[in-house]
Chains A and B, each alone.
Chain A
């Protein structure tokens, strides 16, 4: 999801310089060389951010901001003003007019990138939450219902945007993800948050409840996590703060389970806490499966909940697996004979697994997931995800997913 920045300056060299600097950071960059075309450009297709020069002929930056704030489509687009050095009056006036930040010329390109990212980081959550908040406040008139359907679609689209399109690439680790949604608005979510050169925050969670309230809760948790992971040191403290926030602001029957942890490539450790979520599995090349049980209560139901932090050491070849209950609660297929597909979908291997005391008429379960993981431990992370999906299809006799399923596989290179 590349974000779009509109750069406005009457100096074409500066336009080119900023474009060359911002595009490699992953932004789409559009340019405008005067105030009128900037306003028109922004109105037709509102960008995520505008970098706006103050000193321009015909229409200056302040006038442009005033116009943008009067237009419905552009009034919430954040603006960073570019002013001449020392013009304190400009800064004050700019911030009064509604600019979100300012940069002084001549600028340091690294500062530009940092300020752009800071402003986008601040406004991104607001942009996502607003449509959901409006949907929540809607009355259930006929018109409201129609709008609600639209909002649900919008919510689904927002959720898709919030989920990383692909797993991050991290030196020495192979990471793969899987998300299967049963409905348009999924309760399962995951996210990867770069914390430093060698640390990445990883979250996998499951929001309980349905529809827009659940979607809103997911956005709330994700946003809170993105902010808190830079403020608090330990996963347990982060979960505690998210728990208190959700418990204070929502009903008791709206809650989530989630695991948050920090993968450190320097120390080869995973430091985590678990808010009532399915226990992660650690496949260890020497001791087979460890179940990571450190954590605490599910998130958002009890203000007095407390959490603890655990650490596990990852040796070369070790595998960490996070999953949601949509996987372990997958139901077994019907009895043989009641379904014509059975001859195909069941194979003799399944009865081997069942001798662990898992009857065929119940659920997939963490034990069977652990077995699948051990059997396929030599595979790459993405091939492991696929192996789990195939095993689920084998077990249930179906490729349908009645519940949302999410899976993250992290494998340390050998």
Chain B
């Protein structure tokens, strides 16, 4: 798994992830999101366009970060999850509490 983070206008962070978020990669993923929060970036877009699968620990990391963002008045949204990931989000009903967008533009608009 690789990722890079870009900070856009309105202080919105976009985390582009590439590869499966499984096992040890989950820790890296969690830490990166934590770091965004610690540096005051509580408006997070997690770009899942290139993520074929995530495991349950990664889901846990997303849930924890989502709650932290909400507590500090921010938000976490997901961008373009692929079929397998979308299915996991639906089965777990996380899709009902996390905003999911198809395009980067609409994801960023969610914070306006």
Contacts and interface: CB of A to CB of B under 8 A. Distances in A.
B53 A363 contact: yes
Interface string A219-256: 00000000000000000000000000000000111110
Interface in B46-104: 52-53, 55-57, 59-61, 63-64, 67, 84, 91-94, 96-97
A279 interface: yes
Contact of A255 (B63, B91, B96): B63
Contacts of A253: 57, 60-61, 63-64
B60 A252 contact: yes
A209 B57 contact: yes
Interface core residue of B63, B64, B97 (most chain A CB under 10 Å): B63
Contact of A362 (B57, B64, B84): B84
A27 interface: no
Given A253-B60, A362-B52, 7 more contacts: A251-B64, A253-B63, A255-B60, A276-B91, A278-B91, A329-B55, A363-B53
A279 B91 contact: yes
Q: Tell me the dominant secondary structure on chain B's binding face.
A: helix
B52 A208 contact: no
B64 A302 contact: no
B37 to A, nearest CB: 14
Q: Tell me the dominant secondary structure on chain A's binding face.
A: loop
Interface stretch (A61-69, A84-92, A154-162, A293-301): A293-301
Contacts of B61: 253
Nearest to B68: A252
A411 to B, nearest CB: 24
A297 B94 contact: yes
Nearest to A278: B91
Interface of A: 206, 208-210, 251-255, 257, 276-279, 295-298, 301-302, 305, 325, 329, 362-363
A279 B92 CA distance: 10
B54 to A, nearest CB: 10
B64 A298 contact: no
Contacts of A301: 63
A345 B64 CA distance: 41
A186 to B, nearest CB: 14
Closest 7 CB pairs of A and B: A253-B60, A276-B92, A208-B56, A297-B93, A298-B92, A253-B64, A252-B64
A322 to B, nearest CB: 13
A276 B88 CA distance: 9
Contacts of B91: 257, 276-279
Contact of B97 (A278, A302, A325): A302
A276 B56 contact: no
A277 to B, nearest CB: 7
Contacts of A297: 92-94, 96-97
Contacts of A329: 53, 55
A277 B67 CA distance: 21
A355 to B, nearest CB: 16
B14 to A, nearest CB: 22
A257 B64 contact: no
5 contacts: A210-B57, A252-B67, A276-B92, A297-B94, A298-B93
B60 A363 contact: no
A253 B67 CA distance: 10
Nearest to A301: B63
A278 B91 CA distance: 6
A209 B60 contact: yes
Contacts of B55: 329
B87 to A, nearest CB: 8
B53 A298 contact: no
A170 B59 CA distance: 37
Contacts of A251: 64
B63 A252 contact: yes
Contacts of B67: 252
A305 B96 CA distance: 10
Nearest to A256: B56
Contacts of A279: 91
Nearest to A329: B53
Nearest to A254: B60
Contacts of B64: 251-253
Contacts of A277: 91
A392 B67 CA distance: 37
Contacts of B53: 329, 362-363
Contacts of B63: 252-253, 255, 301
